[in-house]
Chains A and B, each alone.
Chain A
Amino acid sequence: MKNSRIRILYIDDEVHNLNAFRASFRRSYEIYTATSALEGRQLLKGIDVHIIIADQKMPVTTGVEFFHDIKNVLPEPIRILLTGYTDVEDIIDAINKGHIYSYIKKPWDEHELHRTINNAYEIYNARKQLKEKIVELEKTNDELNRFIYSTSHDLRSPLMSVLGIINLSRLDNTVTDPMGYMDMIESCVVKLDGFIQKIIEYYRNSRLDVEYEKIDFALLLKDCTDTFKHQNTSIDFHVDVDQPFDFKGDTFRISVILNNLISNAVKYQKPDAQSPKVNLGVKVEPHKATIRIEDNGIGILSEHLNNIFKMFFRSKNNNKPGSGIGLYIVKEALTKIGGTISVDSQYGEGTQFEITIPNRNEFDS
């Protein structure tokens, strides 16, 4: 059990102090001693100690100076200063600069010193555990991210083969399929691929550095609406961009946000709607852009409004396919770029989202 004992280095130029310390504490702790700062440093090269106690008044290097010197090379051991005279200024200074955990007056009180050592060791342990936990967490986080990334890619590749086979079967007419099974397979595969793409989107949002580029909202919105127009050709898209100022923002995240919101506006239309509408409005100011996305679709139940940005939350009042991750990604992406979102919805009437994104353009520079 030798390894579990508290290891202490005690530095003092007075040998009888070292001996007295040994005599009092040898049964409780593993003790190393040195008669000067230099000797102490030599010793520390070979042994990992938990606590260092140093006398303040030593020739050549004082205790405070010694602690100051080793602070950066050896931050882990907890430092305790021992001082025979109350040189208050020095001590206050050293403690405030964080070199020293505690100080003990000479001659020491055995109980007090015991208590101080044990407290110091507890702090040593807590810091060490915290560090280990951080390393562990970073590692699992990293593994999780890599896992998500590689699974998404490995899952997509065979799916694309399936789509290729379906395409081919149509091209060479080798499959008789009066019931339209091929179409069903295709729609399932496309749906599955949609989920995987959402996972990749989430992954990239959490990992990629934020990058600011000039954004032309008219162009960006046209890209978005072009993607969704064919999904429901009866929808009337109305786009209104008011951009009198240059805007700089993270293109990837802003298009992820817009794509998810517009996709929802298209998807959650009433099945029998006479004139389904999606209105997109952008207003750019020198400090921010405000984007409104409005639809006259099925709307969101008021009791669900608080939950729609939660991961995997899905409203039960619709039977539309969805992963419950789209709005979560929107929220996460907005957090990354310092934006905000608000939502207003009347059930059965439609939904309005309003997002604001800070403008990173630096004018007049």
Chain B
Amino acid sequence: MNSIPDLRIVLIDDNEIDLLLHERLIAIQQISRTVLSFNNANKALEYLSSNVTLPQIPPTVILLDIQMPEMDGFEFLRSFDSYPNKIKNQCYIIMVSSSLDFGDINRTNANPLVVRLLKKPLQPRELKEVIEGIFKEQ
């Protein structure tokens, strides 16, 4: 994906194997060279808030797992919603879940911060198309 050279991907998932899988998928599909993995939503929030000091925040796609211990995907969204627009406007959140739960599906659809909900296992082509779609609209 050469059109967005400074695109970075933030992965948030408590499952280490899924983190590894998604890192590999992104590398193989050449979606981005910068991938930051967090196995804990709190740490990801910490990192994103530290970005506020950067002169310019690069476009960021966040792959956010729903079911996680401590802080789950929806709790992450609630905290992230309070972040300054300088950060929020650069972040595009794709929720990722193996859940078929209707409640979860409705909640993600209703959340304006979320671009899409993708089911695990992620389909390489679908992931690439969704991310390309985000930046095509710009």
B67 to chain A, nearest CB (A): 7
Do B28 and A161 have beta carbons less than 8 Å apart? no
Do B67 and A161 have beta carbons less than 8 Å apart? no
Is B54 interfacial (CB-CB < 8 Å)? Answer: no
Give the distance in Å from the alpha carbon of A161 to the alpha carbon of B13 in the complex: 12
Do B28 and A172 have beta carbons less than 8 Å apart? yes
Question: What's the A-B contact tally at a CB cutoff of 8 Å?
Answer: 48
Residue A171 contacts which of B15, B25, B119 (CB distance < 8 angstroms)?
B25
- The interface stretch among B42-50, B77-85, B95-103, B106-114 is B95-103
Q: Which residue of A lies closest to B100 (CB)?
A: A200
Quick one: given A167-B124, A168-B25, A171-B124, are A161 and B15 in contact (CB under 8 Å)?
Answer: yes
Give the distance in Å from the alpha carbon of A359 to the alpha carbon of B17 in the complex: 48
Do B98 and A156 have beta carbons less than 8 Å apart? yes
Do A153 and B99 have beta carbons less than 8 Å apart? yes
A346 to chain B, nearest CB (A): 36
Chain B residues with CB under 8 Å of A153's CB are 67, 98-99, 101
Do A172 and B24 have beta carbons less than 8 Å apart? yes
Residue A160 contacts which of B24, B102, B121, B124 (CB distance < 8 angstroms)?
B121
Give the distance in Å from the alpha carbon of A160 to the alpha carbon of B21 in the complex: 11
Residue B120 contacts which of A164, A171, A197 (CB distance < 8 angstroms)?
A164
B31 to chain A, nearest CB (A): 13
Contact with B along A170-185 (1 / 0, CB 8 A): 0110000000000000
Residue B28 contacts which of A171, A197, A252 (CB distance < 8 angstroms)?
A171
Give the distance in Å from the alpha carbon of A4 to the alpha carbon of B15 in the complex: 56
Q: How large is the interface on A (under 10, 10 to 19, 20 to 34, 35 or more residues)?
A: 10 to 19
Do A157 and B28 have beta carbons less than 8 Å apart? no
Is B138 interfacial (CB-CB < 8 Å)? Answer: no
Chain A residues with CB under 8 Å of B99's CB are 153, 156
Interface centre among B18, B24, B121, B122 (most CB of A within 10 A): B121
- Interface size in chain B (residues, C-beta < 8 A): 19
Residue A164 contacts which of B28, B100, B121 (CB distance < 8 angstroms)?
B121
Give the distance in Å from the alpha carbon of A164 to the alpha carbon of B119 in the complex: 11
Is A163 interfacial (CB-CB < 8 Å)? Answer: yes
Is A305 interfacial (CB-CB < 8 Å)? Answer: no
Do B121 and A161 have beta carbons less than 8 Å apart? yes
Chain B residues with CB under 8 Å of A204's CB are 102
- Chain A positions 188-222 with a Cβ under 8 Å from a chain B Cβ: 197, 200, 204
Q: Which residue of A lies closest to B29 (CB)?
A: A171
Residue B21 contacts which of A156, A159, A168, A197 (CB distance < 8 angstroms)?
A168
Interface centre among A159, A168, A171 (most CB of B within 10 A): A168
Is A92 interfacial (CB-CB < 8 Å)? Answer: no
Give the distance in Å from the alpha carbon of A160 to the alpha carbon of B123 in the complex: 11
Is A165 interfacial (CB-CB < 8 Å)? Answer: yes
Give the distance in Å from the alpha carbon of A267 to the alpha carbon of B28 in the complex: 36
Chain A residues with CB under 8 Å of B101's CB are 153
Chain A residues with CB under 8 Å of B67's CB are 153, 157
Q: Which residue of B lies closest to A172 (CB)?
A: B28
Q: Which residue of B lies closest to A165 (CB)?
A: B21
Chain B residues with CB under 8 Å of A172's CB are 24, 28
Task: Given A161-B17, A163-B120, A165-B21, output 4 extra A-B contacts at Cβ < 8 Å.
Answer: A156-B98, A157-B15, A165-B17, A167-B124
The 8 closest A-B pairs by CB, nearest first: A164-B121, A160-B120, A160-B98, A163-B121, A164-B21, A157-B98, A156-B98, A161-B17
Residues of A within 8 A of B (CB): 153, 156-157, 159-161, 163-165, 167-168, 171-172, 197, 200, 204, 252
A-B contact list, 29 entries, CB within 8 Å: A153-B67, A153-B99, A156-B99, A157-B98, A160-B119, A160-B120, A160-B121, A161-B17, A161-B18, A161-B21, A161-B120, A161-B121, A163-B120, A163-B121, A164-B17, A164-B18, A164-B120, A164-B122, A165-B21, A167-B123, A167-B124, A168-B21, A168-B24, A168-B25, A171-B124, A172-B24, A200-B100, A204-B102, A252-B102
